[in-house]
Amino acid sequence: MVNQSDYVVIKALENGVNVIGLTRGTDTRFHHSEKLDAGEVMIAQFTEHTSAIKVRGRAEIWTNVGQLKSGDDE
């Protein structure tokens, strides 16, 4: 059972940040994709269909376990 309160907040730090939802099950596949521009924020939720979220590009990401940045070389 998925905890319906498992949200992820993604804030794009540059234009063209990709947020990709991945399915759960025997075959992991892309099932949804969004493109964010700098300053845009997306709130995503893990569901019975979404088991993973991939972020490509520079973004700030907040989860229930902490905050991190993607796309940084540091």
User: How many C-beta neighbours within 10 Å does residue 39 have?
Assistant: 10
List the 30-36 sheet strands across, edge first: 30-36, 17-23, 50-56
Q: If you classify domain 7-63 with CATH, what class do you get? A: mainly beta
Query: pTM for the complete prediction?
Result: 0.81
Which one is predicted more confidently, 13 or 2?
A: 13
The confidence score (pLDDT) of residue 32 equals 84
The confidence score (pLDDT) of residue 1 equals 46
Domain boundaries, given as residue ranges, for the chain: 7-63
pLDDT tens track for 10-64: 999 999 999 998 887 777 777 789 999 999 999 998 887 788 889 999 999 999 8
